[in-house]
Amino acid sequence: MGIRFLFWALICATASLLLNFLSAIIKGRINRKKSVGFFHPYTNDGGGGERVLWCAVKAFQEVNSNLDCIIYTGDHDASPESLLTRAIDRFGVKLLHPPQVVHLYKRKWIEEGTYPRFTMVGQSFGSVYLCWEALCKHTPLVYIDTSGYAFTYPLARVFGCKVLCYTHYPTISSDMVSRVRQRDPMYNNDPLIAKSIWLSRCKVIYYTLFSWMYGFVGSCAHLAVVNSSWTQAHIVKLWGIPRHTKRIYPPCDTKGLQELSLERSINTPTIISVAQFRPEKAHTLQLEAFSVAIKKLGPGSPRPKLQFVGSCRNQEDEQRLQKLKEKAIELNVEKDVEFYRNLLYRDLVRLLGGAIAGIHSMVDEHFGISIVEYMAAGAIPIGGYLS
């Protein structure tokens, strides 16, 4: 009797969830607004992705000033006015009018700290839950993902939205699978797994299955815009929609940088590194290389300075920045290294104007806005460990 009751209770609960799911979708499709929704959970990431976001919003406003631009964000302090100001101060992008804001409260489900294991698949499915919250609150005619959450595309289509995306970097690529197969330790391949042939084989299977899922959800996009030929090649291979995949290089503000003076101080040569404080940017490698270079200086040589400029999206990024500061102390170069977090755009320009060189060390860099900025500002770009 108890098992039968439990069985029927399970059926009723499942039916109730299914009805609520269908009801929310029908309601969303009926109440779709004449608007463009930008799914960008971190409007404080400060990287090239956020620059693309504001340039895209501005472009839509210029095409149709009456079209509402909605920003789905997990930053609870974000307001239309603060985002308008941020676009100007951080990126020099002047919007025609403030965007509308839809606050999301389930962002923890895309935080890497929520998933100690199977982080990639956890964040991907977590983004679906976050997207559900977004579309239930406001269903636009056009849904645009500017942060690389491809698993949200089927859900957006179910809600009746036209799905567009700007993809900076594929969530998974054949290069990542190859490194696991070759057992190369890296930020996304723990040394413990790399040392084990069986764990590596299991991870290859996991990556292969995830690649198939990523290809399926990505193919649900009506239009996929990518930022480089490197990304385009991977996305075409994975998503299989070459006719709907277009390449548009990310916006780089080079005009103001080209006006900077080429005269730089030689008393304290400055090397700058501009990148978000994320694991794939390999800041520790830069710090170690700088330490080695310092030790090789002659007695009369001017002592250089290394400036790290980047943004922190969340607590994990803050911890990486703190570990980088501790690493500088460990290498005994803390007096020669400066850290700048979440700078205003005018302050970044000022620092670029004083640098003789700019360093960048991400493996398989898809585009590298900072490299373009280095060249425009007259700083010699140094690409370390690029493949």
Residue 72: what are its φ and ψ, rounded to 5°?
-85, 115
CATH class of 254-383: alpha beta
Q: What is the pLDDT of residues 91-119, one digit of tens each?
A: 889 999 999 999 999 999 998 888 888 88
Binned at pLDDT 50, 70 and 90, residue 42 comes out as very high
| Vertex 120 angle, CA 317 and 371, to 5° | 50
Residue type, 111: E
Q: How far apart are CA 1 and CA 272, in angstroms?
A: 72
Range 164-175 average pLDDT: 87
Range 347-368 average pLDDT: 84
Binned at pLDDT 50, 70 and 90, residue 192 comes out as low
pLDDT the model gives residue 4: 65
pLDDT the model gives residue 194: 63
Look at residue 374 and tell me whether its pLDDT is greater than 80: yes
Could you tell me which residue, 227 or 181, shows the higher pLDDT? 227
Binned at pLDDT 50, 70 and 90, residue 7 comes out as low
Under a CB-based contact definition with an 8 Å cutoff, are residues 138 and 31 in contact? Answer: no
**Which of 23-37, 144-158, 180-194, 371-385 shows the lowest per-residue confidence on average (mean pLDDT)?**
180-194
pLDDT the model gives residue 122: 92
CATH 3.40.50.2000 range(s) for the chain read 28-247, 254-383
Residue 300, number of CB atoms within 10 A of its CB: 5
**How much is the mean pLDDT over the chain?**
86
Look at residue 177 and tell me whether its pLDDT is greater than 90: no
pLDDT the model gives residue 206: 85
pLDDT the model gives residue 9: 61
Q: How far apart are CA 30 and CA 365, in angstroms?
A: 42
Three-state DSSP class for residue 384: coil
Binned at pLDDT 50, 70 and 90, residue 13 comes out as low
Q: How far apart are CA 277 and CA 45, in angstroms?
A: 10
Long-range contacts of 54-62 (CB under 8 A, 24+ apart): 54/87, 54/91, 54/93, 54/95, 55/91, 55/93, 55/251, 56/144, 56/146, 56/166, 57/87, 57/95, 57/99, 58/87, 58/93, 58/94, 58/95, 58/96, 60/36, 61/95, 61/96, 61/97, 62/96
Could you tell me which residue, 107 or 300, shows the higher pLDDT? 107
Binned at pLDDT 50, 70 and 90, residue 187 comes out as low
**Which of 34-38, 76-80, 297-301 shows the lowest per-residue confidence on average (mean pLDDT)?**
297-301
Binned at pLDDT 50, 70 and 90, residue 12 comes out as low
pLDDT the model gives residue 301: 85
Q: How far apart are CA 272 and CA 254, in angstroms?
A: 17
**Which of 1-15, 53-67, 194-208, 258-272 shows the lowest per-residue confidence on average (mean pLDDT)?**
1-15
Q: What is the pLDDT of residues 281-296, one digit of tens each?
A: 888 989 999 999 988 8
**Percent of the chain with pLDDT strictly greater than 90:** 46
Q: If we measure between CA atoms, which residue out of 295, 313, 312 comes closest to residue 304?
A: 295
Q: If we measure between CA atoms, which residue out of 188, 353, 212, 363 comes closest to residue 283?
A: 363
- For 165, the enclosing helix (H) or strand (E) is strand 162-167
**Percent of the chain with pLDDT strictly greater than 70:** 88
Q: How far apart are CA 387 and CA 383, in angstroms?
A: 10
Look at residue 190 and tell me whether its pLDDT is greater than 70: no
The alpha carbon dihedral of 79, 66, 143, 90 has a sign of negative
Q: How far apart are CA 216 and CA 153, in angstroms?
A: 10
Start-to-end CA span in the chain (Å)? 64
Reading the block at residue 67, the tokens are 């079209």
Look at residue 386 and tell me whether its pLDDT is greater than 50: no
224 forms beta bridges with 165, 245
Q: How far apart are CA 150 and CA 217, in angstroms?
A: 6
pLDDT the model gives residue 33: 81
CATH superfamily of 28-247: Glycogen Phosphorylase B; (3.40.50.2000)
**Which of 121-135, 219-233, 298-312 shows the lowest per-residue confidence on average (mean pLDDT)?**
298-312
Q: If we measure between CA atoms, which residue out of 361, 76, 261 comes closest to residue 371?
A: 361
